[in-house]
Amino acid sequence: MTSFPDPDGVVPLLRRGTVMVVVMAPGATPEDVARVVARVEAAGGETFVSTGVSRTIIGLVGDVDAFWQLDLRALPGVAAVHRISDPYKLVSRQHHPERSTVWVGSGERRVPLGPGRFTLIAGPCAVESAEQALEAAHIARSAGASLLRAGAWKQRTSPYAFPGLGVTGLEILARAGEATGMPVVTEVVDPRDVPVAAEHADMLQVGSASMASVGLLQAVAETGRPVLLERGHTATVEEWLMAAEHIAQRGNLDIVLCERGIRTFEPTTRTTPDLVAVPVAQAASHLPVVVDPSHAAGRRDLVVPLARAAIAVGADGVAVDVHPHPEDALCHGPQALHGAELRELARAVRRLPAALGRQDTPAAYPRS
Amino acid sequence: MTSFPDPDGVVPLLRRGTVMVVVMAPGATPEDVARVVARVEAAGGETFVSTGVSRTIIGLVGDVDAFWQLDLRALPGVAAVHRISDPYKLVSRQHHPERSTVWVGSGERRVPLGPGRFTLIAGPCAVESAEQALEAAHIARSAGASLLRAGAWKQRTSPYAFPGLGVTGLEILARAGEATGMPVVTEVVDPRDVPVAAEHADMLQVGSASMASVGLLQAVAETGRPVLLERGHTATVEEWLMAAEHIAQRGNLDIVLCERGIRTFEPTTRTTPDLVAVPVAQAASHLPVVVDPSHAAGRRDLVVPLARAAIAVGADGVAVDVHPHPEDALCHGPQALHGAELRELARAVRRLPAALGRQDTPAAYPRS
Amino acid sequence: MTSFPDPDGVVPLLRRGTVMVVVMAPGATPEDVARVVARVEAAGGETFVSTGVSRTIIGLVGDVDAFWQLDLRALPGVAAVHRISDPYKLVSRQHHPERSTVWVGSGERRVPLGPGRFTLIAGPCAVESAEQALEAAHIARSAGASLLRAGAWKQRTSPYAFPGLGVTGLEILARAGEATGMPVVTEVVDPRDVPVAAEHADMLQVGSASMASVGLLQAVAETGRPVLLERGHTATVEEWLMAAEHIAQRGNLDIVLCERGIRTFEPTTRTTPDLVAVPVAQAASHLPVVVDPSHAAGRRDLVVPLARAAIAVGADGVAVDVHPHPEDALCHGPQALHGAELRELARAVRRLPAALGRQDTPAAYPRS
Amino acid sequence: MTSFPDPDGVVPLLRRGTVMVVVMAPGATPEDVARVVARVEAAGGETFVSTGVSRTIIGLVGDVDAFWQLDLRALPGVAAVHRISDPYKLVSRQHHPERSTVWVGSGERRVPLGPGRFTLIAGPCAVESAEQALEAAHIARSAGASLLRAGAWKQRTSPYAFPGLGVTGLEILARAGEATGMPVVTEVVDPRDVPVAAEHADMLQVGSASMASVGLLQAVAETGRPVLLERGHTATVEEWLMAAEHIAQRGNLDIVLCERGIRTFEPTTRTTPDLVAVPVAQAASHLPVVVDPSHAAGRRDLVVPLARAAIAVGADGVAVDVHPHPEDALCHGPQALHGAELRELARAVRRLPAALGRQDTPAAYPRS
């Protein structure tokens, strides 16, 4: 074993925990190596160079984000750059090993999402009318939900599809939440709508199509409301956590991650629900992780099996669409649960977390 | 409602259940339409034409596979061709609504895979020695497995990786199965090895990299042995069922489908386990469906959560890698279970199927 | 040939050119069929029913978008719904067979993008300073560019990356465009910034991460400025055209589509440039289509080969990053061209369109 | 700059050019580090350890493939393992910087594929009859082809599709090649057919569905015939090169890589042609790279634009389907060129390589 000596005090620098490895190409010249070293040192970093004949490797010590900005890959003679440390910090479990619990709502209507619990979020995809919203809220409640979710603005692929009721929808949703004793969650799609949404809703959702919209992430963060952050259809887990980092960076750490399917080549379902992302994200981040099987699959017959699987894989909650009359729904009717499926879901929510050894009872049970 | 009249006896033809719809392009000429009609009729089909000014639609009645061969999309004026019926038949649930049970092994060692049951398949990724195989078989047994799986030939990406022990491995595996009372499953990767594999193994596995290798599918089918058919990393559910149809077509319907992850953009895990494919495949086909969480994730810490999720989503079984000394494994050590994870798996296998209302006890329990 | 009779005047309805086919499941009841018919008719549509024993098919005539809202897949007994007509209209080539030319800029600085031409768009990824922007503009001009592109706001994955200079950047960019005689293009990422961007820029870019952000698409449309619409990393060509339809619907048809790579499993390049999407989009839509090889590949050595391929596949233009000192760039330095590559690009831009028989000379040549 | 001292002679070991970096997890113990070191040293490697408080990094020197076998990721305390050197060797350009030329055929009919040239490969997807094959060969020749390709065995998704004529097809193909003065290429799908195919064909093709079938790769390698190795639909460039390494390892370096589209989420075309893979593969490997636009797109109208783009991106050749009567083709008729498209292709093949500065004239021109 060839121990790495430390005559120049490298070890203390390593304590900062941020390192990068630059691999030089076989034909790189000493000047190429010197250029990398110079740029890193100009940026306040330290380097250690391991020179062979066919390859030279340079280890970087210091602020990995500053180094990343240097775009060292662009320099002549650089073959590859490996980042060793995570690109996110505030949401990383590395520096915050305990998993977090996020509380939504206030006063009597205060609901936790986090480890050792299971929380059901339910409601209609879109608010359509006061009657529909209230009826759906009762259905959600009786299935075991403790958080009510519905959309006032919808991000639709087609300009000819129902866009939502806007502020009117927010008001209806808030009343339905009060009437059924549940805090409410609603999606925002435009930063200009965030202030009014934060007035009416207890939690703001950033949808998959907006996950990378920095302006929206910042606007949402600044309200101080808890955020339900959907994973983009094409986002890696790392990019999802980077989006969360954008929120955290503005001082808001009340973030719940929501997996809702990734885009793959398989055409049968709307997206491919990536359930393994739940334990992967929980290992990388201290934030709670829930799954939305309704939007992921887009087909009612798959929602209950997926909800069961989400519970079994360790999700901290599940978010589903319910509707009093799915066949009349203005948005995503084919995925809304009703009747028999709803009862099956309620049964799974009641029994499965316990069978899997979750110690807390779900917050979602009726409290009386 | 404009009813479709039947002066020419179209309805009886529709009983064959095979139809296709040809959509003509806006500028298609009457000659273009006539050409489609002529080709279909030359192939023994019937057509019904619905002519508008901007669009003409042609419905085809008869043998959809013969029509598909015609490549009607290639004809001038054709905008799109929609196939209405499934491209697979023997494995389709459409004509065989009852889900099937496949029996593996003979005599005392006869194990069912199918509805109402849960079956654990376990063993080392590769047979390395008689001691390792026997030890792994005992581990598998004590975790609740009723089928022993291990590889004698490995399909490796690198030519510098361990390729397996070949026939020697088969013999070792067969003895380990006998000693522990389990039928054995092994993968074949070359049609030339199929006869000898069928002599020693109770079930033959076709791996994901070979799923589309018609020669191998046919060779395996002809042995009459039950087949464990892994989904290709890039195969749609429909293509997976078409691969099963290749086997079924040769008279062998003892096929168990095995989901083991699809390739996506997400780099964290080796592949993305597609758990929703389990209920999707079970709805489309009568064949049993199992999940291999070890190969799908490639990481030990994710195997037990995924196995739980597979049970919860309704899989008829789970196949996992176990190894007496994963750190010494010659193949995929990082995914093999041992110690604590193995005990967790055994617990999940024992309790979860029952908690989910599976009526039969798993065949997988130690028989005393 | 069984002709489809028209006693009830179906043919005139088909002139509206919008149809959908509903395939009922094998076991669907007459009530299931009647329910579909009733819903369609309640929505103002007409139906024609073709009843077989194992299958019934229902053709719908009328407004396909209204039908799509009905979510007929949600109804009992429905197996599949096939849409026959395109979901987009204003940007479709079906109703507008001539390909469009979009003009950017005004007065002396007015540049066309469209068929029979080739246009080079170039500039630095981000505006960093007045000097850098002006120097990059001169480089772009000498490589044959006629449009100058640079970012004032950047949509960055990491909150720790350079976010752009904002309004100051816009002002610098406008001056650099004036000094070099080129109209300017800049990306907007937040609807709140759109008005000020439209004051300074001749064309607004919607980036891939924002392609599905309806609020941003609407805000951009309403400025009346031409729009450079990047394809989302995970968007199908159809979804890309639907995003364009969102803009067109607000009365702005001056849209140029920009292909810049899709996300796949291949890790070598940042994304996979989807060059076949150029002729596919040109066949489906009358809008011009350009390619951005710099962002698609993320590697300087691949930019020129890709630019050549984009010209050869028929792109109406190419957009590339240039930078006076790529090694000091604050954004995506490794993809910016300089020196030898830049000269190669200029050569390709000068010769290749002509060699491929483009009849017009590029608008991009220096005007003397 | 902290230089890495070499008291123990590490530098000479680095000359072997194979290194790996093991990153330990923050909480890793000294025992965890020692375990990694011990395993590597037991495998004949050397280690250098850089110990910080929050992170320890271990550099490995020696045989990277042996280290890879150790599955160090499986050891306690290991966070990540980065491989620095390429996993392939014989096909790598690292040790063989000159690009290779592969010669196909013998005597008069000897055709080169490689740098500085452009070679057109053409023929019918499947041999259907002596007449069809000969007619297609003449069409191919007149379009500028110098290699004739046609299939005797087809790897079809459906068991109900045309499987090819087998040995009869080989004989027909060989005669058509002789009659038109072109060496012939044919696909093999089963290792049992390789010997007879090698008797009749000058080059053997391994298709995308078989790219990972090690038995087939080995059987093909052993014939000594040049191999046309298609990239799997889901294979990364690295995996494609690893498949080539399987062939090279058996002593056969006459390998031509063929890009024919990768599977993505985009449904418009059969696959997404990955043209940037051409310069990527040419930079990583010394082997020639060609593109098959017919199978990649699956649509005739896209073949010529793609062929042009392939030439422009730097492909060493293009392989296309031609057929005397595409509307009667038994296999993939919609992608076969004829008439106007064929003339366009011939024109592109004649002019474009020269316009791009290829110095050699294509081997593909008629020699008389």
How big is chain C, counted in residues? 368
Tell me if residue C297 falls in helix, strand or coil: helix
D192 interfacial to chain A (CB closer than 8 Å): no
What's the average model confidence in pLDDT over A168-179? Answer: 95
CATH of the domain at B119: 3.20.20.70
Tell me if residue A102 falls in helix, strand or coil: strand
Q: Which run of H or E residues covers position A69?
A: helix A64-69
C25 vs A15, more confident: C25
For residue B87, give the chain D residue with the closest CA: D158
Q: Is residue A133 part of a domain?
A: yes
Beta-carbon separation of D249 and B159 below 8 A: yes
Domain boundary among the residues B54, B83, B112 is at B83
Domain boundary among the residues B30, B56, B83 is at B83
B250 and B318 assigned to the same domain:
yes
Token output for A51: 């020179």
Return the pLDDT at C297. Answer: 83
Q: What single DSSP character describes residue C80?
A: E
Is a pLDDT exceeding 90 seen at residue D60? Answer: no
Q: What single DSSP character describes residue D358?
A: -
Is a pLDDT exceeding 70 seen at residue A130? Answer: yes
Beta-carbon separation of B264 and C265 below 8 A: yes
Residues of chain B neighbouring C23 (CB-CB closer than 8 A): 84
D234 interfacial to chain C (CB closer than 8 Å): yes
Q: Is residue A32 part of a domain?
A: yes
C187 and C76 assigned to the same domain:
no
Burial class for A317, CB neighbours closer than 10 Å (0-12, 13-18, 19+): buried
* Residue C118 near residue C316 (C-beta atoms within 8 A): yes
Chains touching chain C at 3 or more Cβ pairs under 8 angstroms?
Answer: A, B, D
C84 interfacial to chain D (CB closer than 8 Å): no
Beta-carbon separation of B262 and A267 below 8 A: no
- Share of residues in chain B with pLDDT > 70 (%): 85
Evaluated on CA atoms C247, C253, C254, C256, the torsion sign reads: positive
Q: How confident is the model at residue A132 (pLDDT cuts 50, 70, 90)?
A: very high
Direct distance between the N- and C-terminal alpha carbons of chain C, in angstroms, rounded to an integer: 66
Q: How confident is the model at residue A13 (pLDDT cuts 50, 70, 90)?
A: very low
Return the pLDDT at C13. Answer: 31
Neighbours of A85 (CB within 10 A): 20
Beta-carbon separation of B158 and D242 below 8 A: yes
- Share of residues in chain D with pLDDT > 90 (%): 45
Instruction: List the single residue in A272, A277, A356 with the smallest CB-CB distance to B274.
Output: A272
A208 and A64 assigned to the same domain:
no
Q: Is residue D328 part of a domain?
A: yes
A106 and A68 assigned to the same domain:
no
CATH of the domain at B58: 3.30.70.1140
Residues of chain B neighbouring D159 (CB-CB closer than 8 A): 214, 242, 245-246, 249
Containing structural domain, residue B79: 10-83
A160 interfacial to chain C (CB closer than 8 Å): yes
B57 and B109 assigned to the same domain:
no
Domain boundary among the residues C33, C56, C83 is at C83
Is a pLDDT exceeding 80 seen at residue D64? Answer: no
Q: Is residue A56 part of a domain?
A: yes
Burial class for D80, CB neighbours closer than 10 Å (0-12, 13-18, 19+): middle
D231 and D157 assigned to the same domain:
yes
- Shortest CA gap A31–chain C (Å): 15
Token output for C125: 């990824």
Beta-carbon separation of A265 and B301 below 8 A: no
Beta-carbon separation of D265 and C356 below 8 A: no
The span from the CA of D127 to the CA of B69, in Å, is: 15
Average pLDDT value over all residues in chain D: 83
Beta-carbon separation of C189 and A65 below 8 A: no
- A281, A280, A290: which is closest to A363 by C-alpha? A290
Beta strands per DSSP E along A140-231: 147-149, 184-188, 203-206, 227-230
* Residue A346 near residue A338 (C-beta atoms within 8 A): no
B252 and B143 assigned to the same domain:
yes
Distances (CA, A) of B160 to B28, D72, D242: 57, 17, 10
Return the pLDDT at B185. Answer: 97
Average pLDDT value over all residues in chain B: 83
The span from the CA of C81 to the CA of C78, in Å, is: 8
D176 vs B354, more confident: D176
A312 interfacial to chain B (CB closer than 8 Å): yes
- The letter for the amino acid at B338 is H
pLDDT tens for each residue of B118-129:
999 999 988 999
Is a pLDDT exceeding 70 seen at residue A298? Answer: yes
Instruction: List the single residue in D15, D54, D265 with the smallest CB-CB distance to A52.
Output: D15
**How many domains, chain B?**
2
Q: How confident is the model at residue A317 (pLDDT cuts 50, 70, 90)?
A: very high
Q: Is residue D367 part of a domain?
A: no
A171 and A36 assigned to the same domain:
no
Beta-carbon separation of B189 and D233 below 8 A: no
Q: Is residue D365 part of a domain?
A: no
Beta-carbon pairs below 8 A across chains C and D: 114
Q: Which B residues, 94 through 133, put their C-beta within 8 Å of a C-beta on chain D?
A: none
- B347, B338, B120: which is closest to A357 by C-alpha? B347
D311 interfacial to chain C (CB closer than 8 Å): yes
Furthest-apart CA atoms within chain B: distance in Å: 76
Beta-carbon separation of A52 and D23 below 8 A: no
- Share of residues in chain D with pLDDT > 70 (%): 85
Is a pLDDT exceeding 90 seen at residue B253? Answer: yes
A309 and A271 assigned to the same domain:
yes
Instruction: List the single residue in C39, C65, C160 with the smallest CB-CB distance to A160.
Output: C65
Return the pLDDT at C137. Answer: 94
Task: Classify the complex by whether its ipTM is higher than 0.90, answering yes or no.
Answer: no
- Shortest CA gap D266–chain A (Å): 8
What's the average model confidence in pLDDT over B252-271? Answer: 91
The span from the CA of D341 to the CA of D320, in Å, is: 11
Return the pLDDT at A358. Answer: 67
B19 interfacial to chain A (CB closer than 8 Å): no
B55 interfacial to chain C (CB closer than 8 Å): yes
- C212, D277, C166: which is closest to A235 by C-alpha? C212
Return the pLDDT at C150. Answer: 94
Return the pLDDT at B362. Answer: 42
For residue A270, give the chain B residue with the closest CA: B276
Which regions of chain C are under pLDDT 70?
Answer: 1-19, 50-55, 84-86, 160-161, 327-328, 330, 332-334, 357-368
Q: How confident is the model at residue D202 (pLDDT cuts 50, 70, 90)?
A: very high
Return the pLDDT at D170. Answer: 95
Is a pLDDT exceeding 60 seen at residue A53? Answer: no
- Shortest CA gap A182–chain B (Å): 28
Evaluated on CA atoms A331, A334, A335, A339, the torsion sign reads: positive
The span from the CA of D201 to the CA of D218, in Å, is: 17
Residues of chain B neighbouring D32 (CB-CB closer than 8 A): none
Evaluated on CA atoms A179, A184, A187, A188, the torsion sign reads: positive
C276 interfacial to chain D (CB closer than 8 Å): yes
Token output for C323: 């930078």
- Shortest CA gap C250–chain D (Å): 27
Q: Is residue A362 part of a domain?
A: no
B354 interfacial to chain C (CB closer than 8 Å): no
3-state helix, strand, coil in chain D (%, to 5): 40, 20, 40
- Buried/exposed D296-308: b ≥16 CB within 10 Å, e otherwise: bbbbbebbbbbbb
Residues of chain A neighbouring D11 (CB-CB closer than 8 A): 51-53
Q: Is residue B96 part of a domain?
A: no
Return the pLDDT at D135. Answer: 93
Residues of chain D neighbouring B126 (CB-CB closer than 8 A): none
Return the pLDDT at D309. Answer: 95
D214 and D248 assigned to the same domain:
yes
D40 and D186 assigned to the same domain:
no
B273 vs A51, more confident: B273
What's the average model confidence in pLDDT over A307-335? Answer: 84
Residues of chain C neighbouring B47 (CB-CB closer than 8 A): 1-2
B249 vs C333, more confident: B249
pLDDT tens for each residue of B275-293:
999 999 999 999 999 999 9
Is a pLDDT exceeding 90 seen at residue B83? Answer: no
- D243, D255, D225: which is closest to D106 by C-alpha? D225
How many helices and strands in chain C, by DSSP H and E? 12, 15
- Shortest CA gap A84–chain B (Å): 15
Direct distance between the N- and C-terminal alpha carbons of chain D, in angstroms, rounded to an integer: 66
Residues of chain C neighbouring B82 (CB-CB closer than 8 A): 21, 82
For residue B239, give the chain D residue with the closest CA: D157
For residue D305, give the chain C residue with the closest CA: C313
C148 and C285 assigned to the same domain:
yes
